[in-house]
Amino acid sequence: MILGTLNIFFRDIQLLWNTIIPAFFYFTPIAYTPDLVPESTRHLLKLNPFYYFVESFHDIFYRFKQPDGFNFLVCTVMAVVAFTIGYTLFNKYKKGFISNI
């Protein structure tokens, strides 16, 4: 909802998002494990919001164990915050949608 609302008023958001997504792919341990990253820079992976989602999926499908409780908490908090911000932005600016489409 955040990107959809912003894209109505700022058309360049779509182009910016299409540029940022590949960078997030390379900085998220999807195709590699965090163990391959040097110990000195491994803490930077945890700054990526997608890291916790991917680690939870790795726990379930590759390590065959229940996801870590902290990862689940971080994912839940990020989802609630993103929804709250998106819902607030959507309701605040929905009256201007039709005039900007």
- What are 66-92's pLDDT values in tens digits? 988 999 999 999 999 999 999 999 999
Residues of the chain with pLDDT below 50 are none
pLDDT at 4: 87
pLDDT at 76: 95
Task: Identify the domain containing residue 23 by its residue range.
Answer: 2-100
pLDDT at 1: 85
Domain count, the chain: 1
Cα(78)–Cα(39) distance, integer angstroms? 26
Cα(37)–Cα(44) distance, integer angstroms? 10
Cα(98)–Cα(90) distance, integer angstroms? 13
pLDDT at 90: 92
pLDDT at 77: 96
Write down the number of H helices and E strands in the chain: 6, 0
pTM score of the predicted model: 0.77
Coil, strand or helix at 73: helix
